[in-house]
Amino acid sequence: MSWEGLLSAFHEFGHVFYRLAYSGECNHGDHGNRFHLPLTLKQGALPVFHEVAGEALMLGSLTPISMQVVEAIVSVSGQNTLSRKNFPLAG
């Protein structure tokens, strides 16, 4: 997987989380209670927030700790295509 593919996956995961949060399907709290939203908010707040959620998760994945986890996974899989030279901002 390339860096672009990895970052795209994190971005898309942000979209999934956003959809789940606004649909009320995310568990909330330690007791597994459903997070209920008014019907008017179940389709999302604003379309731009949908993109912001994806970008925020993608940018959050660039932290040094996240990069260490990715490097550990890559080293176990033996497919080291995620080189720091290809993505200099990662650490």
pLDDT tens for residues 9-49?
A: 888 888 888 777 776 665 555 544 455 666 666 666 677 77
Q: Within the chain, where are the H helices?
A: 3-23, 47-60, 64-77
Task: Give me the pLDDT at residue 91, please.
Answer: 43
What is the 8-class DSSP label of residue 84? G
Task: Give me the pLDDT at residue 90, please.
Answer: 46
Q: Is 25 one of the annotated active-site residues of the chain?
A: no
Would you give the end-to-end CA distance of the chain in angstroms?
Answer: 18
Give 3's pLDDT tier (boundaries 50, 70, 90): confident
Q: Is the pTM of this model over 0.95?
A: no
For the chain, give every domain's residue range: 3-63
Question: Is 28 labelled a binding residue?
Answer: no
Residue with tokens 């568990």: 27
In the set 4, 12, 55, 71, the catalytic residue is 12
Question: Is 31 labelled a binding residue?
Answer: no
Question: Is 11 labelled a binding residue?
Answer: yes
Q: Does 63 score more than 60 pLDDT?
A: yes
